[in-house]
Amino acid sequence: MGIFTGMFKSRDKPENRTAGSAYTFYMGGTTSGKAVTERSAMQMTAVYSCVRILAEAVAGLPLHLYKYNDDGGKEKAIDHPLYRLLHDEPNPEMSSFVFRETLMTHLLLWGNAYAQVIRNGKNEVVALYPLMPNKMSVDRDENGHLYYTYYRGPDEAIKNMEFAVTLQPSDVLHIPGLGFDGLVGYSPIAMAKNAIGMAIACEEYGAKFFANGATPGGVLEHPSTIKDPQRVRESWQAAFGGSSNSNKVAVLEEGMKYTPISISPEQAQFLETRKFQINEIARIFRVPPHMVGDLEKSSFSNIEQQSLEFVKYTLDPWVIRWEQSIQRALLSHDEKVRYFVKFNLEGLLRGDYQSRMNGYAIGRQNGWMSANDIRELENLDRIPTEEGGDLYLINGNMLPLKDAGAFANTTDNDGKEENPDEEVLEVEEPGTDGNDAEGEDTISERNNRRRKLV
């Protein structure tokens, strides 16, 4: 055990920086001069829209706990205590939608999502409560085992050990985002804080531009000395400052001249810069631009495909993180063999009504979908089994190989026909009619020769 203990001790605790780098992945200052935090980033409409789209999408997906049957199939484990927690109500204070929406928001802003796991005396999970990621730290003890420290203080910026609570890994549902050590994730906001900081700066510039008037700042020139320049400046600002005074005609006296010293927003490509930053933020979260309101490169022919790609390449990786983290933290070792958690993405992958009906018709006609299978996908009531709701049908021209063509009349090894239910052709004995003449075959002989040919 000494060798393994030394190996675990040598493993570094999770850090928020790469090895040998002074650049940390915390929120903070940017090259644009604007401080970027999870809350200041959410004031950007593009960030707010991306976070809301992903959080609501994951929260709105049906989440079920399944168990394997003895015949290799699966069914919903409705009788398991965890089913109700995941599907309906993880705790008495919030619904499953709100719980998953909250944790997904944490995951997108901080890169980690935590929930406290409450268990009863039987070690069964009875409740799940979200925990703030910025109040949680992950560390290792002297034996290399992970433990979580949560700070309950009122000020989230100050981590006072007086309010610290130590939690074991079995007491925490931890969903990590993308990281470098596989233990903690790094915030997408912090990793792209320069791009978001530039977007904040552009937005602030636009706001100040309209607050100071449609024309940027300039210089009032007077041929002689002005006795009270402050009064002249305030008079000019009162008459022409602000968006409500834009495009007013200025009348200058005593030889005064106004000279603008800034270029126009069009020349500075201000609008193009703001638009590019919106696409940049959408790229961070891998959200299609049309979902945040940019329809420039979207059309009727490709917008459906973009929506399907959003489910496949954006939602699916997040959903897998959720599923595997839930199974790892909330299921016991024995339960992991029989139970599994699954989000249902079928509703988002469905096409329009006509496409769905055509697909159902193909499945029904080829025998791998019953009427009840189709009705369950369309959220319709089941047809009773005695009325044929669970029958699997095929087209009449599709038969098993043993019943097709010449194979239908072959015999097995015992000399019995493979199709005993078929009508047997009765033949008359030779000599009972005029067909038993010499040189002619009886019906029985012709039937026997046909079987031999096969």
pLDDT digits (tens, 9 = 90+) for 44-77: 888 999 999 999 999 999 899 999 988 778 888 9
| DSSP type of residue 429 | P
What contacts 67, CB < 8 A, 6 or more positions away? 74, 75, 76, 77, 80, 338, 339, 340
The candidate with the shortest Cα–Cα distance to 409, out of 401, 418, 398, is 418
Q: In what order do the strands lie in the sheet with 125-131?
A: 125-131, 112-119, 172-176
Look at residue 442 in the predicted model and tell me its pLDDT.
Answer: 59
Look at residue 130 in the predicted model and tell me its pLDDT.
Answer: 95
What is the distance between the alpha carbons of residues 310 and 290, in angstroms, rounded to a whole number? 11
Look at residue 403 in the predicted model and tell me its pLDDT.
Answer: 66
Question: How many alpha carbons lie under 13 Å from residue 34 in its C-beta half-sphere?
Answer: 24
Look at residue 173 in the predicted model and tell me its pLDDT.
Answer: 95
In 312-379, alpha helices (H): 316-330, 335-338, 346-349, 353-365, 371-377
Q: Where in 286-422 does DSSP place strands (E)?
A: 339-343
| DSSP type of residue 423 | P
pLDDT tens for 15-42 read: 555 444 444 555 556 666 677 888 888 8
Query: Pairing between strand 146-151 and 172-176?
Result: unpaired
What is the distance between the alpha carbons of residues 357 and 360, in angstroms, rounded to a whole number? 5
What is the distance between the alpha carbons of residues 303 and 9, in angstroms, rounded to a whole number? 52
Look at residue 159 in the predicted model and tell me its pLDDT.
Answer: 63
What is the distance between the alpha carbons of residues 311 and 225, in angstroms, rounded to a whole number? 69
Positions in the chain whose pLDDT score sits under 50? 1-11, 18-23, 214, 216, 415, 419-420, 422-427, 431-432, 434-439, 452-454
- Cα 255–chain centre separation: 66
Look at residue 427 in the predicted model and tell me its pLDDT.
Answer: 46
- Distances in Å between the alpha carbon of 423 and those of 42, 399, 417, 449? 78, 18, 11, 19
Q: Which two tokens stand for residue 42?
A: 């959410």
Q: Are 342 and 62 in contact (CB under 8 A)?
A: no
Calculate helix-pair angle for 45-60, 316-330, nearest 10 degrees.
50
Q: Where in 200-307 does DSSP place strands (E)?
A: 218-221, 257-260
Look at residue 107 in the predicted model and tell me its pLDDT.
Answer: 94
